[in-house]
Amino acid sequence: MPEWAPVRVGSDTPAPEPSRAVRRSWSIEDLRTNARAHLPRAVFDLFDGGAEDEHTLRDNRAAFSRRTLMPRVLVNVADVSLDTTLLGRPSSMPIAVAPTGAVGFGRPGGDVAIARAAARNGIPYSLSTSATASIEQIAEQAGGRLWFQAYIIKDRSFTFKLIERARAAGYEGVMITVDLAVGGKREKDFRNDLSIPFRYTLRNLVDFASRPRWAAQMLRNGMPVMENLRGLTPASTDAKGIVSTAGRNYDPSFDWEGLRSVRDAWPGKLIVKGIVRPDDAVRALAIGVDAIVVSNHGGRQLDGGIATLDALPGVLAAVQGRCSVLVDGGVRRGADVVKALALGAEGVLVGRATLYGACAGGEAGALRALEILRDEVRRTMQLCGARSVAEITPDLLA
């Protein structure tokens, strides 16, 4: 039996059985391979790729490799607990699910699948503004600890209406993404003819036809819709327009005063995602944010930016424990989680890991991704002589 208390999920249905391919996935990379096999190239690259030359995308992973562990030995690690607190509330492990957009384009119902997997595991889930499930649908069908990630739309009143909907639906936190003044240049999307504006071409039609199971799912369920963007513009709600939507509807004039207005309007936990500079962390703290996510958008926007694990120590030093600090970008192994915590993070956010799982196998695949990470975190803690999250201390890093 798991050590954590399962959270009620929707209609209390039992967890789905995984396919053989998902069941025999032993790593997040295995799930990524399975997702690649299921998805057309254009869709896989949309989720998997980064901006321009993808230096930052790769460096996020490399930053974890640059840190090495110094394990303690001869510690009784027969009983190890991953229980911790994230933003002042219990979490069954130091992991939350990051917001990912357009998930339904990879697997119909994928947003709900990932949210339900998070709820079953007793960890927070972040819903993206550009999700293919609505704020209310996630609350009703998944439950658990919910954070709503809000992009700042040029029509500010539209954003504040979304935030009010999250409050009414019982979300505990609002996450403001601040590193997307304009959309990044993701060249793989152009090469795959997932372009601005989107158009069907021989290239992408052949690509879609190469994955008949995926194509049948899309035909059966219909093209996914950006549910939270209904009523903005028709092009903003169609998942086919995700590339053109990124940057076109977001507000490049949003600034510190704009963030202050969100703080004034939102009574719950306020999370700011996308900070890498210590001075920006101090300014966010002065506005009254409850948490900072050290993030570079997974390398999907600015290429050549600092790896998030490299930026983490500076932000932690600036904040000095006055708010929660989490980190995302490149987390693929349990050892990555332990390294981030040893540097001082309260927890990590994972986005592509559960996205790969959902694309490979729906809710069962997302559950498998979290199961893999849970096992690896526990195993790494045991091999490092850490019996609890509190014992993951800086001396574990070389």
Beta strand extents in the chain (DSSP E only): 84-86, 89-91, 95-97, 125-128, 146-150, 173-177, 269-275, 291-294, 324-328, 347-350
Cβ distance 295 to 326 under 8 Å?
no
Closest CA to 173 of 148, 136, 152, 150: 148
Q: Could you tell me how many residues make up the chain?
A: 398
Task: Please list, in sequence order, all residues whose beta carbon lies within 8 angstroms of the beta carbon of residue 303, skipping any fewer than 6 positions away.
Answer: 50, 51, 52, 53, 54, 55, 56, 57, 184, 185
The single residue of 116, 145, 297, 339 carrying the catalytic annotation is 297
Q: How many C-beta neighbours within 10 Å does residue 210 have? A: 12
Tokens of 218: 């899309």
Map tokens 């391919």 to a residue: 21
Residue 55: active-site member: no
C-alpha distance across the termini of the chain, in Å: 35
Closest CA to 338 of 48, 42, 37, 69: 69
**Catalytic residue ranges:** 297
